[in-house]
A = this chain, B = another copy of it.
Amino acid sequence: MKESHFQEQSAQPAAVRKGHMVTIYDIARAAGVAKSTVANVLSGKGKVSEATRQRVLYYARELGYRPNLLARNLSQHRTFTVALILPTIANPFYPEIMEAIESILRQRDYQTLFCNTHGDFALGRQQMERLMSRWVDGYIIMGSSMDIADITHYFRQGVPIVLCDWQENESPVGIPQVTVDFYRAGQLAAEHLLALGHRHIAVIVDEPQQHLRLEGFRTTLLQAGLELPPARIALGDSSLESGYAAARQLLRPDQGLTSPTAIFATNDWMALGAMELVLDQGLRVPGDISIIGLDDIVVSAHLRPPLTTIAIPKTRLAQEATELLMAQIEKKIEEQGSVLSEAHEGTDGAAQHEEETAPLRLVPPYLVVRQSTAAPASS
């Protein structure tokens, strides 16, 4: 009896309420069925007769129904959202990786929420807290955007987290991670310069974050019988400006060292800065000084001269990171299911994770030779 009543009214109220949200309840009323039936139709879950199914679908379209994700997420404890936390966006490397991760995530029907911590740990924690409150399903944390202590804290609580392109000095305890074989990257850079015949080599590095790159580089030089004296190491903070400043320092004829004939900057952004300084000094690249970077950001290929660099396969990085994260999210969802029935207490659900050795995927870097490196001028 009620059905007919509502049926009659259906067309009217719909039009009137236009502009405000249409809920499944509205559809239910219009179609003369129960809320849950509508839900079933919409989710394709429970069994519904084709007739009512069509009717519900009809009214849904008719009324301009749009599901309310907040409500859905609230009741499902799941948001299909992943946060990507990065230290900065000023270094083009990050936008590039953002793009890669975002599109992969989108294919999996996940929203990506970008967070820029500006390298500020306090801000990072603050943002993280906020995200936690929003029930983001998982986190991909990059570079040195957050304090590893904070990250570990969250991970211990069972929050799905993947470290991506993590800086090599801090050893994350049991947190899944995908990163580049930075030691190898350092080796590649050194090998390239050595092969060209360079003997006076300097490096610009963001210590201690990029220690491995430096070590790979230094070790390779050593094996070739070359020391890397402190005066040949300049510190940067990964920014272009710092690369510029560091290069100036390297070229200042201090402590009687001959000027270097080649510079390895541990990221392209600093390499650009270094190159700028060298050119500003009236020197030529690679004529007087060779420069090699690391990252292979897009602009590097379009500079004058185009930058030789150790490339990081960004898409690969993005894929692996997503995979690792998805695995954790799925696992957590499952566990939640069982927690409802069995009442495990004492051990946090996450504790078991920690025991297992966390997956670590190492992506191999590779050399891209362009025109910023060449054999040193015969002195």
Chain A interface (Cβ < 8 Å from any Cβ of B): 16, 18-21, 66-71, 73-74, 79, 89-90, 92, 94-95, 98-99, 102, 111-114, 116, 129-130, 132-135, 157-158, 240, 272-273, 276, 279, 298-299, 302-304, 339, 345, 348-350
A273 vs B129: C-alpha distance in the bound complex, in angstroms? 42
Give chain B nearest CB distance to A254 CB in angstroms: 26
> Known interface pairs A74-B70, A302-B273, A304-B304. Does A99 touch B116 (Cβ–Cβ under 8 Å)?
yes
Minimal Cβ-Cβ distance residue in B for A129: B66
The distance from the CB of A270 to the nearest CB of chain B, in whole angstroms, is 12
Contact across chains for A240 and B302 when beta carbons are under 8 A apart: yes
Cβ–Cβ contact A304 & B302, under 8 A: no
What residues on B are CB-neighbors of A102 within 8 Å?
116
Cβ of A111 to closest chain B Cβ, rounded Å: 7
Contact of A279 among B111, B133, B304, B339 (CB under 8 A): B304
Q: Nearest chain B CB to A105's CB is how many angstroms away?
A: 11
- Please name 12 pairs of A and B residues whose Cβ atoms are closer than 8 Å in the assembled complex, sorted by A: A19-B157, A68-B134, A69-B130, A70-B134, A70-B135, A92-B92, A94-B95, A102-B116, A111-B130, A114-B114, A240-B302, A304-B304
Closest to A109 in B: B130
Expressed in whole angstroms, the Cα–Cα distance for A249 and B55 within the complex equals 58
Q: Which of A68, A114, A345 counts the most chain B CB atoms within 10 A?
A: A114
With A16-B345, A79-B70 in contact, do A90 and B298 touch (Cβ < 8 Å)?
yes
Q: Which residues of B contact A98 (CB under 8 A)?
A: 89, 114
CB distance from A91 to the nearest CB of B (A): 10
Given contacts A69-B135, A70-B74, are A89 and B95 in contact (CB under 8 A)?
A: yes
Is B79 touching A90 in the complex (CB atoms < 8 A)? no
CA distance A70 to B367 in the complex (A): 46
Q: Are A133 and B302 neighbours in the complex by a CB distance under 8 Å?
A: no
A92 to B157, CA, bound (A): 37
Chain B residues with CB below 8 A from A66, complex form: 129, 132-133
Docked CA distance A157–B134 (Å)? 27
Q: Does the CB pair B69–A133 fall under 8 Å?
A: yes
Across the interface, which residues of B come within 8 angstroms of A157, CB to CB? 19
Please name the residue on chain B nearest to A276 by beta carbon: B302
CB distance from A285 to the nearest CB of B (A): 9
Chain B residues in 8 Å Cβ range of A273: 302
7 A-B pairs besides A19-B158, A67-B133, A114-B114 with CB distance below 8 A are: A68-B135, A69-B130, A69-B135, A71-B74, A89-B95, A92-B92, A111-B130
B299 touches A299 (CB 8 A): yes
Write the chain B residue with the least CB distance to A116.
Answer: B102
Residues of B near A18 (CB, < 8 A) are 348
Inter-chain CA distance A240–B301, complex, in Å, is 11
Which residues of B sit under 8 angstroms from A20, Cβ to Cβ?
A: 339, 349
Complex interface: chain B residues within 8 A of A240 (CB) = 298, 302
CB distance from A309 to the nearest CB of B (A): 16
A26 vs chain B, min Cβ distance (A) = 15
- Counting from the closest, the 6 A-B pairs by CB-CB distance are A19-B348, A69-B133, A95-B95, A70-B74, A304-B304, A69-B134
Instruction: Report the minimum CB–CB distance from A94 to chain B (whole Å).
Output: 8
Chain B residue at smallest Cβ distance from A347: B19
- What's the nearest-Cβ distance from chain B to residue A132, in Å? 6
Residue of B nearest to A16 (CB): B345
Cα A298 to Cα B88 with chains together (Å): 14
